[in-house]
Amino acid sequence: MLFRSPFVFITKIFSRLIGIDIKKVSPENAIKDLETPVLLIHGQKDDQIPVENSILIHNANIKNELWIIEKAKHGESHYITQKEYESRVLNFFEKHLK
C-alpha cells in the first residue's frame, strides 16, 4: 500500500510522456484479436484489482485460460499454491510454446 500512490502517480506521468491516455486503455479490447493464448491468474480475495476484470479479459478471447485462486489476495497466488502454481504455469508454457 505504501508504494501504491507513488507508483500510480509515476505511471500517469510516464503514460502522458509517451502519449498514452490511461483512461482509454482496455485490456479486454486489446486481447480480443490476440492469437497468443494468455494465462490469467487472479486471487478471489484481491482487494486492489477486482477478479471481475480477469473474468472480462478471459471471456474476451476463447484462447485465454483463467485460474482464480480462492483464498488469495493481491500478489499471494504463488505463496498460497506454490506447487500447483508452478505446475500450471509450466503446463501452460509446454502446451503453447511448441
pLDDT tens digits along 72-96: 999 999 999 999 999 999 999 999 9
Residues 97, 89 contacting (CB under 8 angstroms):
no
DSSP designation for 34: -
Residues 44, 71 contacting (CB under 8 angstroms):
yes
Q: What is the pTM of this model?
A: 0.81
pLDDT in tens, 11-36: 889 999 999 888 888 999 999 999 99
Give the H or E element holding residue 66: strand 65-69
pLDDT in tens, 37-77: 999 999 999 999 999 999 999 999 999 999 999 999 999 99
What pLDDT, on the 0 to 100 scale, is given for residue 72? 97
